[in-house]
């Protein structure tokens, strides 16, 4: 990829094909300091809102959702926050997609990604298909003080529980390292502004795929990262820009 601004190659269709998007968003060969490459995917309005009236859909687009699906399909594992994503969005298991089967096999990946759910309280409905019938067992990441009955319920539902924090909270570097040790070295987080802020402040984010939506919302919506700030702003370098109908689909990588 270059730092040029590119328009859809398939002019007749007015959109990028899945192969084009998969090439454009291929993971780099290198890994981050944690032993994995952690990518985030978010959308923001021109005035910095990550959502409108509590949802990201009003500031998104069809192409943004195609890229969203492509990023999921390329990653062996993606993260979500229990509060902001699983409970509110009603997450379902990841599915195998024929369009990406050859790429996943060539990368040594299974047919569908695993979903890693981050939760301190484990206040989740473990009867959901996300836990009881995924193609790949769902991972639940929590801290050492998580309620034992909820840990047991998660395991009985079929989830794999990883304790990656000494207290209630998950420690981001330990979480990334735990997945890397399981061979999950290409990671995607889409789990909301609070989770993204934790990854940023811990210094484990390697790449941000940010869609800049050509809308203004005003109001008091969350930013894409919502949490304690860093002492010194972290510098990322622009890796690529795609453009369609005023939407900018950018990639920034750790310098």
pLDDT tens for each residue of 201-212 = 999 999 999 999
Mean predicted lDDT score pLDDT of the chain: 84
pLDDT at 2 over 50: no
Encoded tokens for 222: 């969350």
pLDDT tens for each residue of 171-193 = 999 999 999 998 888 899 986 88
**pLDDT number for residue 129:** 86
228: CB partners within 8 A, 6+ apart: 197, 201
| pLDDT level of residue 1 (50, 70, 90 thresholds) | very low
| pLDDT level of residue 125 (50, 70, 90 thresholds) | confident
94 or 123, which is more confident: 123
What's the predicted TM-score (pTM) here?
A: 0.85
Q: Classify 5-254 by CATH class.
A: alpha beta
**pLDDT number for residue 22:** 86
Q: Which residue has the tokens 């998580």?
A: 146
Angle at which helix 193-202 crosses helix 172-181, to 10 degrees, equals 90
Return phi, psi of residue 39, to 5°: -110, 140
pLDDT tens for each residue of 56-103 = 888 999 999 989 888 888 877 777 665 555 555 556 656 667 666 677
Average pLDDT over residues 104-110: 67
Average pLDDT over residues 40-64: 90
Encoded tokens for 73: 């399909």
Distance CA 186, CA 174 (A): 15
Encoded tokens for 248: 């900018």
**pLDDT number for residue 111:** 65
| pLDDT level of residue 110 (50, 70, 90 thresholds) | low
Nearest CA-CA partner of 37 in 47, 27, 22: 27
**pLDDT number for residue 103:** 72
């Amino acid at each position: 990829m270059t730092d040029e601004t590119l328009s859809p190659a398939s002019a007749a269709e007015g959109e990028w094909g899945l192969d084009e998007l998969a090439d454009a968003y291929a993971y780099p060969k290198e890994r981050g300091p944690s032993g994995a490459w952690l990518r985030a995917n978010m959308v923001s309005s021109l005035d910095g809102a990550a959502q409108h009236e509590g949802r990201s859909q009003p500031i998104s687009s069809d192409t943004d959702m195609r890229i969203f699906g492509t990023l999921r399909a390329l990653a062996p594992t993606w993260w979500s926050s229990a509060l902001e994503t699983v409970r509110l969005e009603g997450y379902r298991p990841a599915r195998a997609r024929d369009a990406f089967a050859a790429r996943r096999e060539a990368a040594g990946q299974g047919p569908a990604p695993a979903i890693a759910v981050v939760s301190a309280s484990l206040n989740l409905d473990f009867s959901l298909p996300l836990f009881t019938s995924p193609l790949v067992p769902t991972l639940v990441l929590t801290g050492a003080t998580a309620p034992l009955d909820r840990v047991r319920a998660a395991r009985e539902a079929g989830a794999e529980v990883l304790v990656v924090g000494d207290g209630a909270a998950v420690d981001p570097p330990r979480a990334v390292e735990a997945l890397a040790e399981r061979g999950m070295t290409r990671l995607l987080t889409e789990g909301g502004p609070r989770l993204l802020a934790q990854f940023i402040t811990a210094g484990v984010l390697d790449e941000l795929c940010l869609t800049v939506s050509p809308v203004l919302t005003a109001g008091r919506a969350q930013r894409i990262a919502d949490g304690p700030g860093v002492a010194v702003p972290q510098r990322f370098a622009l890796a690529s820009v795609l453009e369609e109908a005023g939407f900018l689909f950018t990639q920034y990588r750790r310098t």
